[in-house]
Structures are given as structure tokens and as C-alpha cells.
Amino acid sequence: MSDRWDTLALAYVLAGAIVRIIWGLVIHPPFDYLYSDMGVYVERAQRLATGAGLVWADAFFPPETHLLLAAPMTLFGTERAGLWVGAVLWCALSTAIPLFAWRLARLLLTPAAAALTALFCAFWPLYITYGGTSPPRRPR
């Protein structure tokens, strides 16, 4: 019985990963839609990658995001290639969230509840939207 729930959960995780990849990398490529909070993180990552360092106002933002994005920008540059590699890294981490949530729920809950956890995490609109480095622009 639990094998059926586990198979269903993995199908949700896979389908959610496909949706995130299409949404975050195809529909909203990083250099066309970068703005708002993620734009600020990318600017900080670009500064770090070029060796400029951080300023005092950067303390008000969680450091992990721009530090994580600075790593590929250091290796691939701060322009298109660096943005793409950073976006792929961010998308990969986003696709892992439903898998990790399902595995944790599988340890703590019933197989059916864990499958629902995978479903909700895989298809929650905000998880999908912010799974890329570039959420869609708001109309003005």
C-alpha cells in the first residue's frame, strides 16, 4: 500500500520539477525578468563575484542567497553565463524542496500524508514562482 503512495509522491515531485524548470528557465529567463528582491540579491552576488564586497545595508538581507549566487558568478562571470548558471542552480535547489519535504514527511507521517505533502510543495504557486531567479514582472 505504501509503495503506491511513494510512487505517486515521486510522480508529483517529478511533475513539479518539470513545471519549475519550464517556468523558471524557459518562460522567465534570468536576464529578461530580473527585478525586485531577486534583483537585489543578484546585484549583491555580482558585487561579491567582482571582489567589491558588501556594504552595511546588506546586513538587512539574509546572506545565503547572494553568497550562493556569487559562487557561479565568480566562475562564469557576472553577465549572461553567470546569470544562467545561477538560475540553473537556484532552480535545482527549488526542485529539491518537494523531494526533501516528502522525505521528511515520510519519516514523520503516514505515506498518504507524505504524498500530499509532496503534491502541495510541488504545485504551490509561490514555490513555483520563486523557484527561479526571476519572478514575472508586475504590470505597471
15-51: pLDDT as tens digits: 999 999 998 888 887 776 666 677 778 888 888 889 8
pTM > 0.75: yes or no: yes
Residue with cell 561579491: 48
**Cα separation of 96 and 94, whole Å?**
5
Residue with cell 519572478: 135
Min mean pLDDT across 5-9, 58-62, 116-120, 136-140 is at 136-140
DSSP for residue 79: S
**Cα separation of 111 and 87, whole Å?**
33
**Residue 100, SS3?**
helix
Q: Cα 92 to chain center, whole Å?
A: 6
Exposed (0-12), middle (13-18) or buried (19+): which is 84, by Cβ within 10 Å?
middle
Neighbouring residues of 98: CB distance < 8 A, sequence distance ≥ 6: 12, 13, 16, 17, 118, 121, 122, 127
Residue with cell 510543495: 121
